[in-house]
Structures are given as structure tokens and as C-alpha cells.
Amino acid sequence: MKLETLDARMRTMEYFHQVRLLPGAWAIVRVDGRAFSRLTAEHFEKPFDGRFHEHMLKTAEALLTEFEGLYVYTESDEISFLLPRAWSQFDREWEKLVSLAAGVASAAFTHAWGKPAHFDSRIWLGPRDDDVIDYFRWRQADALRCALNGCCYWTLRNVGETPHAAERRLAQLTTEEKRALLAEHAIDFDALPGWQRVGTGLFWETYEKRGFNPKTQTETTAVRRRIAREENLPQGDAYGQMLVKLIDRAEASNQVERRG
């Protein structure tokens, strides 16, 4: 068989290589730590560990930077990042994005922690701005639910309940009853740090950097950008409004860059 023929036939079998992100659709990539229940049980404080959270933030920053994202949200062992509508890296190839996102996250977390850790990755596509808002409100609601469960679970374990008994008891409680359970043990759930309850948001912000030009002997200012961390995210509608503003601003500056 001629090499060109073999080459063409083999390439058609790279079946998913043709798949692209839908043009004009919003794309969000979510990476999630693989088997992090075991990893965190062995190496980190329960139910929350500031060191673990810092490794997740470093990982989130790497994703925001590598993929030129607009917004990153992290809670527990997962990170979601939003791409600009007109994102064009890798010709919008699905395979590249999903594999590199997991690769970048795994490398960044491993580098931060100093031990190997792996992430999986999936892609969400949404046609409307409101879908994006709903997505992040969905993940935040998940954060809140998991944080409340995790707090209750470890409170019960710390007073001597077995894993099975603690889980069984929690399964029968409503949200309000879980808060009451914590209050009985002198824990005010709403007073816990924001990152533990509702996750953390990261986004680009601009700032003015002052300098000095020795040639002209004048002071200079340059507009630079850096990553901001929001550890006290609002909830519900207020979170939605924050996201709308952030997306509008980022999309507007992308338009200017594309025209310029």
C-alpha cells in the first residue's frame, strides 16, 4: 500500500479529530480531580484544607492563563473555566481542548503540591448568556450542598459516629436541619470562609503600573493585567449580576483587541 493511501486511511480513523466547538457558542471546561476523595483523605485536613485550596487556586490560575479564559470558578476538587465566545486556539478542536485542559490542570496541581495528581476534563456548550449564568449558579449550588454535607459529616464523625451511621443520619436531614445540627455543635455555617461554602472566582483585572523613563526623565504609566481572586463570592441573583458584568466587560475588551 502506498504511504499516502495509508496515511489518508489512518487519518480518517482519528474519528474525533474533526469535532470542533460549535461556532459562536459559549464553552466551559470543567476539570475534576481523579480519586481526590482518597487523595484528600490521605494527605489533607478534613473537611477543608487551606493548603489544598491554594493548590487548586494555582491550578485555576494556570488554566485561566493557558487558555485565555474569561472567568474561572473553583470549589472542592473541581475547576470550571469560561472561554470567550470567539475563542480560536487550536482551531477550536475539541480533542485538543479537553486533553490539554486535563494536562495543564494535572501538571499545575502536581507542581504546586509536589506529588502526582490527575484531573479529568469535560466540555459544556451553551448558546445563550443566561446558560452561562445558570451553569455557574449550578456549580455554586453544588458547592454549598457539598460544603454543608461535609461539615455535618465530620462533625458527626468527630463526636464518635461511624462513617455509616453519619451518612445514614445525614440522608434523613433537610438543609435547615443540617444547619441546626451544626449550630448544636456551636458551628455557624454562614460564618465559615466564603471559599469553603460557595467557592472562589478568578478573573482578569487591569491596573496601572507606574514607572520611570530615564531617557526623558518622566514618570510613565502602563496598563497591565493580573489575575484577581474573589474569595467572597455573592450568591443567587447577585452572583448572576456579577457574572453578567464580568462577561460584558471581557467581551467588550476582546472586541477592541480584535478591531485594534
Ligand X SMILES: Nc1nc2c(ncn2[C@@H]2O[C@H](COP(=O)(O)OP(=O)(O)O)[C@@H](O)[C@H]2O)c(=O)[nH]1
Q: Which amino acid is at 213?
A: N
Site for ligand X contains 153 (CB under 6 A):
no
Cβ-contact 208, 222 below 8 angstroms: yes
Is residue 32 at the binding interface for Mg ion, with CB under 5 A as the rule? yes
Question: Any contact of residue 145 with ligand X (CB under 6 A)?
Answer: no
Number of residues in contact with ligand X under rule CB under 6 A = 18
**Partner whose binding site includes residue 58, from ligand X, Mg ion, none (CB under 5 to 8 Å by kind):** none
33 interacts with ligand X by CB under 6 A: yes
As a whole number of angstroms, the distance between CA 74 and CA 192 comes to 17
Contact with ligand X (CB under 6 A) among 5, 12, 37, 172:
37
How does DSSP assign 76-140, residue by residue?
TTEEEEEEPTT--GGGGBHHHHHHHHHHHHHHHHHHHHSS---EEEEEEEESSHHHHHHHHHHHH
| Residues paired with residue 31 on neighbouring β-strands, in sequence order | 79, 121
Task: Classify 29 as helix, strand or coil.
Answer: strand
Please choose, from the candidates 132, 141, 145, the residue with its C-alpha nearest in 3D space to the C-alpha of residue 235: 141
Using CB under 6 A as the binding rule, the residues of this chain from 168 to 227 that contact ligand X are none
* Least Cβ distance, residue 156 to ligand X (angstroms): 14
- Identify what 37 binds: Mg ion, ligand X, none; CB under 5 to 8 Å per kind: ligand X
Choice from 77, 83, 113, 135 touching Mg ion (CB under 5 A): 77
Q: Which does 150 bind (CB under 5 to 8 A by kind): ligand X, Mg ion, none?
A: ligand X
Under the criterion CB under 6 A, does residue 121 sit at the interface with ligand X? no
One of 20, 32, 144, 170 touching ligand X (CB under 6 A): 32
CB of 45 to ligand X, least distance (A): 6
CB 22 within 8 A of CB 28: no
| Residue 252, contacted partner among ligand X, Mg ion, none, CB below 5-8 A by kind | none
Question: Which C-beta is closer to ligand X: that of 48 or that of 135?
Answer: 48
Three-class secondary structure of residue 159 per DSSP: coil
What cell numbers appear for 133 in the block?
Answer: 449564568
Q: Which does 76 bind (CB under 5 to 8 A by kind): Mg ion, ligand X, none?
A: ligand X
Supply the minimum distance, in Å, between the C-beta of residue 39 and Mg ion. Answer: 9
Shortest distance, CB of residue 212 to ligand X, whole angstroms?
44
Question: Quick one: which of 102, 57, 58 has its CA closest to 75?
Answer: 57
Q: What is the DSSP string of 181-230?
A: HHHHTT--GGGS-HHHHH-EEEEEEEEEEEEEETTTTEEEEEEEEEEEEE
Which residues here bind ligand X, judged by CB under 6 A?
32-37, 40, 44-49, 52-53, 76-77, 150
Which residues here bind Mg ion, judged by CB under 5 A?
32-33, 36, 77
